[in-house]
């Protein structure tokens, strides 16, 4: 897509924080993989909810409670549409991708995995998609198997396929790597697992804000993402699951709302999706997330992906031309994440110098320590782009890296 049909200056006006200054310089926010900024429609949805609708959901008979319930359930339907899920009952509100993955590990996983069984992940996963499976395997005396990645940061497909066997109970893979930007061939990986009747969970934390996600086309069994990386509020996220799997799974948390009836002898659990939503949910968060997804849909996910790809190509070109800068993660199919090392300079120093220039990036292991080990490095500096970033901002990043070189010459 040509940059000219993407009115980035108009879009930037929707995000008040982008007009802040840091260290007396205009903010250049390139830490979108950690969390993205919020457009006015999301901020207004939160204010409006607390000012006009605040009430507990699914409980009161009074007008406000009905309004809040309606808005909360409307948000669920919006998310269903956003993911192209078959039913709104397949959309469960959770706190974020981390909770979505833990929910599946602790409910589906604890039922499915027995001693000697295996869970397959890849070498580029975020800690959120490693540790819950390690905890499960430890408890059940199962084994975690890890599909390797090549030097570009792409999953070795043959090795992945070879790991799938009689004892594999679940495959859990990222859609997009937060540390490398790699877009995984989720549909192909899913199809390969399904041929062996193995269900697939997709960690979509880094995909939902940037790609058009269609859970039916991907044919995954579970898909999870976080609101705060998708231009929505913190503390809210989504777990999608296929009805037949969710029906079979035991609840995750016990409490109010997830029951139909309770006696000391027996509790009857509620229907989907409420069986998995114990206690008062983050009503405002769900409504804010609905507003965020509406904003993305209005812009068009395809157009967002095309614009961000343009930025990625530009930024890759600029960074590659800098002496001493080495990109980590050069997959053919990549989202707009640029992880790099600067020869002779620790990533934290790079991050600090850039911060003084107003450029916000991430430095560290990005909650993907095994990825750092794979590339034999301690840390990277990561610039992760979003729909509101500009070429000028990438130029400021490049200029900031010039300052890093001057300081460490």
- 195 burial (CB, 10 Å; 0-12 / 13-18 / 19+) is exposed
Of 363, 339, 340, 341, residue with least CA distance to 351: 363
Interface with ligand PMP in residues 53-82 (CB under 6 A): none
Neighbours of 296 (CB within 10 A): 20
State which residue, 68 or 155, has the beta carbon closest to ligand PMP.
155
Q: Of the candidates 203, 277, 308, 357, which one interacts with ligand PMP according to CB under 6 A?
A: 203
Site string for ligand PMP, 92-121 (x = CB under 6 A): ----xxx-----------------------
Task: Answer yes or no: are the C-beta atoms of 215 and 84 closer than 8 Å.
Answer: yes
| Residue 367 Cβ vs ligand PMP, minimum distance, rounded to whole Å | 6
E-only strand ranges, 263-316: 267-269
Q: Which residues contact 95 (CB under 8 A, 6 or more apart)?
A: 235, 236, 237, 282
Residue with tokens 């580029």: 124
| Residue 92 Cβ vs ligand PMP, minimum distance, rounded to whole Å | 14
State which residue, 306 or 367, has the beta carbon closest to ligand PMP.
367
Interface with ligand PMP in residues 16-35 (CB under 6 A): 33
State which residue, 122 or 389, has the beta carbon closest to ligand PMP.
122
Q: Of the candidates 212, 367, 369, 377, which one interacts with ligand PMP according to CB under 6 A?
A: 367
E-only strand ranges, 95-142: 118-122
Q: Of the candidates 106, 128, 190, 316, which one interacts with ligand PMP according to CB under 6 A?
A: 128
Distance CA 312, CA 270 (A): 46
Q: Of the candidates 103, 174, 284, 363, which one interacts with ligand PMP according to CB under 6 A?
A: 174
| Residue 31 Cβ vs ligand PMP, minimum distance, rounded to whole Å | 11
Say whether 269 sits in a helix, a strand or coil.
strand
Q: Find the helix or strand (DSSP H, E) in which 372 lies.
A: helix 369-374
Interface with ligand PMP in residues 215-244 (CB under 6 A): 226
State which residue, 180 or 283, has the beta carbon closest to ligand PMP.
180
Task: Answer yes or no: are the C-beta atoms of 362 and 34 closer than 8 Å.
Answer: yes
State which residue, 69 or 282, has the beta carbon closest to ligand PMP.
282
Stretch that binds ligand PMP, among 20-28, 123-131, 180-188, 257-265 (CB under 6 A): 123-131
State which residue, 198 or 202, has the beta carbon closest to ligand PMP.
202
| Residue 205 Cβ vs ligand PMP, minimum distance, rounded to whole Å | 4
Active site residue 367: yes
Query: Looking at 137, 212, 220, 367, which residue is catalytic?
Result: 367
Residues facing residue 364 across a β-bridge: 380
State which residue, 79 or 205, has the beta carbon closest to ligand PMP.
205
End-to-end Cα distance, the chain: 39
The two three-digit tokens of residue 197, written as one number: 């009747």
205 binds ligand PMP (CB under 6 A): yes
Q: Of the candidates 178, 182, 316, 381, which one interacts with ligand PMP according to CB under 6 A?
A: 178
Ramachandran angles phi, psi of 123, nearest 5°: -75, -5
The CA distances from residue 279 to 58, 92, 140, 256, in Å, are: 11, 13, 28, 5
Residues facing residue 381 across a β-bridge: 340, 363
By CB under 6 A, name the binding residues for ligand PMP. 33, 96-98, 126, 128-129, 174, 178, 203, 205-206, 226, 367
* Enzyme catalytic residues: 367
């Amino acid at each position: 897509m040509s940059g000219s049909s993407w009115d980035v200056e108009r879009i930037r006006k929707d995000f008040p924080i982008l007009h802040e200054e840091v260290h007396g310089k205009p903010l250049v926010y390139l830490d979108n993989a950690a969390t993205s900024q919020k457009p006015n429609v999301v901020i207004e949805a939160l204010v409006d909810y607390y000012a006009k609708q605040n009430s507990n959901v699914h409980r009161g008979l009074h007008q406000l409670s009905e309004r809040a319930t309606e808005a909360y359930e409307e948000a669920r339907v919006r998310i269903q549409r956003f993911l192209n899920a078959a039913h709104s009952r397949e959309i469960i509100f959770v706190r974020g991708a981390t909770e979505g993955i833990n929910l599946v590990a602790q409910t589906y996983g604890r039922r499915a995995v027995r001693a000697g069984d295996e869970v397959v992940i890849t070498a580029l996963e975020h800690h959120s998609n490693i540790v819950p499976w390690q905890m499960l395997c430890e408890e059940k005396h199962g084994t975690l198997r890890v599909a390797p990645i090549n030097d570009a940061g792409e999953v070795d497909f043959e090795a992945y396929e070879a790991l799938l066997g009689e004892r594999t109970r679940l495959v859990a893979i990222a859609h997009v790597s937060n540390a490398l930007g790699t877009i995984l061939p989720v549909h192909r990986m899913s199809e390969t697992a399904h041929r062996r009747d193995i269900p697939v969970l997709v960690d979509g934390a880094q995909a939902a804000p940037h790609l058009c996600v269609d859970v039916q086309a991907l044919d995954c069994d579970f898909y999870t993402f976080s609101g705060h990386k998708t231009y929505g509020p913190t503390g809210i996220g989504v777990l999608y699951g296929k009805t037949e799997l969710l029906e079979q799974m035991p609840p995750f948390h016990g409490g109010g709302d997830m029951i139909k009836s309770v006696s000391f002898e027996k509790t009857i659990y509620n229907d989907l999706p409420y069986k998995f939503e114990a206690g008062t949910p983050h009503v405002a968060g769900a409504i804010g997330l609905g507003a965020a997804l509406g904003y993305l849909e209005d812009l068009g996910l395809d157009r967002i992906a095309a614009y961000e790809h343009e930025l990625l190509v530009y930024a890759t070109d600029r960074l590659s031309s800098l002496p001493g800068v080495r990109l980590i993660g050069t997959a053919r199919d990549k989202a707009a994440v640029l992880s790099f090392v600067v020869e002779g300079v620790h990533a934290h120093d790079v991050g600090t110098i850039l911060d003084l220039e107003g450029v916000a990036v991430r430095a560290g292991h990005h909650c993907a320590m095994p990825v750092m080990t794979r590339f034999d490095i301690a840390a990277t500096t990561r610039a992760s782009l979003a729909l509101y970033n500009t070429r000028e901002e990438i130029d400021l990043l490049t200029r900031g890296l010039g300052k890093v070189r001057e300081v460490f010459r």
